[in-house]
Amino acid sequence: MKAHLTTHAILDTIPLRIGAVLLDRKVLLENMVYDEAGTDQQNRRELNDKRYHVIANLVSNYPSRKDLGRWRLVIKESQDPQKLPPVFTVLPEGSDIRTEANLTKALYDARQSGDSRITPEYIRDVLHPLYKAGQLRNQQDLSDLLNKGQVEGLVTALEEANETKRALIARDRVMSARITELEDKEAVQDQEMSKLKYENEVIDVTERAILEHAEIVTIQRQKGPTEYTEIRLSNGLKLRKKWDIPSTLAKATGLKGKYVRTTVWNEVGRKPTDREYWKPTEWFEDIYECKDAAAEEARSSTTRWCSPSMALDAQRKLEV
């Protein structure tokens, strides 16, 4: 069975558990069997999303075939025939599922919070050996490792800055908004990379804007008149797409008045000055609805609080 690795799977779980940094999201699941016990242990959100567990051999085919071992995988069926089913995470067979899932969720949260250390290479080279040796067993072990030696410096920095609680909350709002932005863009990239025609191109995801208008336009070219789907966004951009005009126009029309992000694909190594470069300020490959900015701001101001280390990281980002 062919499948596609989500961003969490390829950036967090595979470097930690397998000790590998993969170059391609497309994988094969071989000798796959349904894991009823693992599926039943999922939380309500995962069950409602129709995810399920399987035990399978995980195989990467790029740049050459490599058997990555037999693992418990969390997957779901693709609702789009043009997209491969996603692999959400990779877990050791026979392990405590919730403990393992919480560990990689903590890695994901650290990466999303802006911790520059959390790269696939760092996870592979530093955290994977500790994981294999049994010294990195759960999210508390990870927290201790990442925060070691930072507490004293954190307290000093906070005292010197003499920040009030209101200032910390303001920084947390900025941090929450940035985390939401990263998560939103990552979700769009996952959708694009799951498409069957995707072949390791570089995907640009635009900033959020309201889709105001969509129509078919005709442009005079050297070869004659050419039709495009054109969309107009609240940030002033007018973007066009040449292919799949009926379905593209229908999708765009259904998203009028909503916050959206658009994408473009370019081959690896292609530069903005190249003639064949698809500029995200002129073209689009697809459109995705995203969360309403006002609603997200209200949510972040009432439901999130950052740890001191996150507050300092937010401060550093604001000062840059």
Q: Name which residue leads in pLDDT, 168 or 217.
A: 217
Can you tell me the mean pLDDT for 163-167?
55
Domain boundaries along the sequence of the chain: 2-147, 153-320
Look at 4-13, 122-131, 170-179, 238-247 and tell me which has the smallest mean pLDDT: 170-179
| Residue tagged 């995980």 (tokens) | 58
* Size (the chain), residues: 320
State the pLDDT confidence band at 288, using cuts at 50, 70 and 90. very high
Look at 5-14, 91-100, 145-154, 240-249 and tell me which has the smallest mean pLDDT: 145-154
Q: Residue 92: pLDDT above 50?
A: yes
Residue at 298: amino acid letter: A
Q: What pLDDT, on the 0 to 100 scale, is given for residue 292?
A: 52
**pTM greater than 0.85:** no
Q: What pLDDT, on the 0 to 100 scale, is given for residue 171?
A: 61
Q: Name which residue leads in pLDDT, 96 or 302.
A: 96
Q: What pLDDT, on the 0 to 100 scale, is given for residue 177?
A: 62
Q: What pLDDT, on the 0 to 100 scale, is given for residue 157?
A: 46
User: In the 3-class helix/strand/coil scheme, how is the chain assigned residue by residue?
Assistant: CEEEECHHHHHHHHHHHCCCCCCCCEEEEEEEEEEHHHHHCCCHHHHHCCCEEEEEEEEECCCCCEEEEEEEEEECCCCCCCECCEEEEEECCCCCHHHHHHHHHHHHHHHHCCCCCCCHHHHHHHHHHHHHCCCCCCHHHHHHHHHCCCHHHHHHHHHHHCCCHHHHHHHHHHHHHHHHHHHHHHHHHHHHHCECCCCCCEEEECCCEEEEEEEEEEEEECCEEEEEEEEEECCCCEEEECCCHHHHHHHHHHCCCCEEEEEEEECCCCCCCCCCCCCCCCECCEEEECCCHHHHHHHHHHHCCCCHHHHHHHHHHHHC
Share of the chain above pLDDT 70, in %: 80
The C-alpha atoms of residue 97 and residue 105 are separated, in whole angstroms, by 12
Can you tell me the mean pLDDT for 217-244?
93
Are 231 and 213 in contact by the 8 Å Cβ rule? The answer is yes
Q: Residue 272: pLDDT above 70?
A: yes
Per-residue pLDDT reduced to its tens digit, 7-44? 999 999 999 999 999 988 999 999 999 999 899 989 89
Q: What pLDDT, on the 0 to 100 scale, is given for residue 81?
A: 85
Q: What pLDDT, on the 0 to 100 scale, is given for residue 167?
A: 59
Q: Residue 303: pLDDT above 60?
A: no
Q: What pLDDT, on the 0 to 100 scale, is given for residue 175?
A: 59
What mean pLDDT value characterizes the chain? 83
Q: What pLDDT, on the 0 to 100 scale, is given for residue 296?
A: 44
Give how far the C-alpha of residue 294 lies from the chain's centroid of Cα atoms, to the nearest Å: 22
Q: Residue 153: pLDDT above 60?
A: no
Q: What pLDDT, on the 0 to 100 scale, is given for residue 170?
A: 60
Are 91 and 37 in contact by the 8 Å Cβ rule? The answer is no
Q: What pLDDT, on the 0 to 100 scale, is given for residue 225?
A: 92
